Amino acid sequence: MAKRGLGKGISSLMGDYSMDSKLVSGDKLTYTDENNNSVVMLGVDKITSNPGQPRKYFDTNALQELADSIREQGVLQPILVEESPDVPGHFIIVAGERRFRASKLAELKHIPSLIKNFTEEQRLEVALIENLQRENLNPIEEAQAYRFLIDQASLSQDELSKRIGKKRSTIANSLRLLNLNDVMQKSLKEGVITAGHARALLAVINPADQEILYNKIVKDSLSVRQAEDEGKALNEGSRASKKKVKKNDKIERPADIRRIEEKFLGVLGTRVSLKGNLKKGKLEITFYSSDDLERLYQLLSKKDDLFD
């Protein structure tokens, strides 16, 4: 499948709108903006949500606040839509889902809209970028959107990184969240645990130990640091052993070793342990599924300098 970028992104498709270019419903159903885009006042009953919208949860209180603002100020920026291939005269939202929902709450009959045509991956890409810019996606929605774009547009993580302006390591770490089981993913969606807790869970090798740590995080309201310490102890076999390790018996890992391990973590998006020293030793790279192993192979087969 040919890859098509979005150039300047949403701004190139929608133009730059300010408070001075506010649009409100009225007798005039078509408006030409300063960028020569035709803004159409579409009936809200002719518009439907995009089934590929990456954001699945919309906060009711936040929508009501936006609806109150729209009643007072109107819709400050058009939504982006495309005509439905199945129902002529009807349109599907590409970007602006919150504005659309809030406009319905505000009982508007029409909403300013830009009508464009998109490929399937462009459609999700625009919706994803809009949500990322507004920090509206929960961590699982974000990870699922990355995965969909990679699969549908046949993108590598590097290519996706360039197209949406996110670091490759950020995308890799986000995708790893999909390795959590359904219960843990649901808790992350709902804010019961944080992305930091999720990373601590993913660092635990044994799935049974992951369950133990998850239950402890929820039951005892562990901080991320506490969860990381508990996870490390589980990986070291403390669940199977009653023997306590005294503080004086702990071996402090050299700072330069920890620094290198952290660099590998940032690049590979998974736990890496360095055995030995900086002149001689071995690396242990943790992976969590066959897909994760394939991802690591793709990363390691590139010629990037890990220490830039």
**What is the CATH number for 42?**
3.90.1530.30
Residues 206 and 202: their CA atoms lie apart, in Å, by 10
User: Is 46 in the same domain as 75?
Assistant: yes
Q: Is residue 167 part of a domain?
A: no
Domain contains 285: yes
Residue 230: which pLDDT band, with cuts at 50, 70 and 90?
very high
What are the beta bridge partners of residue 161?
Answer: none
Question: Residue 74 domain-assigned?
Answer: yes
- Taking only the tens place, the pLDDT of each residue in 58-103 is 778 878 888 888 888 888 788 888 888 888 888 988 888 888 988 9
Catalytic residue among 65, 82, 97, 121: 97
Q: Which of 95, 119, 143 is the last residue of a domain?
A: 119
Residue 67, in any domain of the structure: yes
The whole-number pLDDT of residue 7 equals 37
Of 88, 119, 150, the residue that ends a domain is 119
Residues 231 and 279 in one domain: no
Q: Which domain holds residue 206?
A: 194-250
Same domain, 112 and 65: yes
Spatial distance between the Cα atoms of 12 and 5, rounded to a whole number of angstroms: 12
CA within 13 Å, CB half, 17: 19
pLDDT (average), residues 253-267? 76
97 as an active site residue: the answer is yes
Is residue 207 over pLDDT 60? yes
- Residue 3 placed within a domain: no
Average pLDDT, the chain: 75
44 and 63 in a single domain? The answer is yes
What is the total count of domains within the chain?
Answer: 3
Which of the listed ranges 85-99, 266-280, 282-296 does the model predict with the highest average pLDDT? 85-99
For residue 135, being part of any structural domain is answered with no
pLDDT tens by residue, 151-166: 777 778 888 888 777 8
Query: In terms of domains, do 286 and 204 share one?
Result: no
Residues 308, 306: Cα–Cα separation, whole Å: 6
